[in-house]
Every structure is written in structure tokens, then in C-alpha cells.
Amino acid sequence: MRILVVHGPNLNLLGTREPGIYGTLTLSEVNRALSSLADELGVDVTLFQSNSESALIDSIHSAAASCDGILINPAAYTHTSVAIRDAVSAVGLPVVEVHLSNIHSREKFRARSFIAPVAVGQVSGFGLDSYLLGFRALFNHIKKGL
């Protein structure tokens, strides 16, 4: 099984970016935790971050041929990107959406996700655990379908 993990804009700044909201873990530390969970589950993982909407879309397209599912934190594009939602729909892979913060308890504009309706599910508000729980849930979901 291969899973693509996609991190959206500004997540490269984790660790120093609004630590009161997003915590002090860096993106490398998040990726290390995901890699060790992937090892434990026997999953091949590809890790990708970009600040560019088009690069994020290209990475989703490329997963169609090589991956069984996608774990994505679309970051701010969650709330704006019809194009990322369409890419998710187009590839037809199971997608789990994750957020470090609880997007439902912050500003009103963050509560709307363009991605959630085309995702298997969403995990939001648990910091690093959002990624780890989302990864496990995606793994279990894919396994059921194999």
C-alpha cells in the first residue's frame, strides 16, 4: 500500500508559525512521525508540501497512478479551492482531510471546507494526532477495499 501525504501552504513554517494555534512541532517532525507510523503499518509513504495550488493539484494527479489514497492538509486552500476539490474528485482515490487546529471553532470562514464533501472524512483539532489518526483511518479504509 502507498499513501501520499500532502501539506498545503504555510505548513513549511510549522514550529514558528502561530505556535499558540499550530504548536511548536516542525513539518520535519510531523513527517518523521508519519514515516514511523507508516513503517509500523507497512505502508510506503510519499511526503509532499507546497505553497502553490498548481503544484498541489499536480501531486494529487500523480497519485492516481501510484498511490492507494491521499492524506491531505490543504491548509488555507481548504476554504477557497474548488480546483483542489475537483482534483480530488477527478482521481477518485480515497482522501482523508486533516487539520492541526479545530477549523470549526475558529473564524467563521475556516468552518467551510471545499474538500470535506469529497473526502472519506475529516480529522480536525488534535495537532499531530490529527495527522496520525487520519493516517490510520485512511489505512483502515483502504485495507477494507483491497
What are the catalytic residues?
Answer: 22, 99
C-alpha cell at 12: 513549511
Shortest approach of ligand DQA to residue 143 CB, angstroms? 26
Cβ neighbours of 42 (radius 10 Å): 8
Residues 96/116, Cβ–Cβ less than 8 Å: no
- For the chain, the 3-state helix, strand and coil shares in percent, each to the nearest 5, are 50, 20, 30
DSSP one-letter code for 30: H
DSSP one-letter code for 136: H
DSSP one-letter code for 100: S
Choose one: 24-32, 54-62, 71-79, 86-94; the region binding ligand DQA (CB under 6 A).
Answer: 71-79
Residues 87-126, one symbol each (x = binds ligand DQA by CB under 6 A, - = not), give ------------xxx-x------x----------------
Shortest approach of ligand DQA to residue 77 CB, angstroms? 8
**Does position 75 bind ligand DQA by CB under 6 A?**
yes
Taking CB under 6 A as the criterion, the residue among 76, 83, 116, 118 binding ligand DQA is: 76
Residues that bind ligand DQA (CB under 6 A): 10, 73, 75-76, 78, 99-101, 103, 110
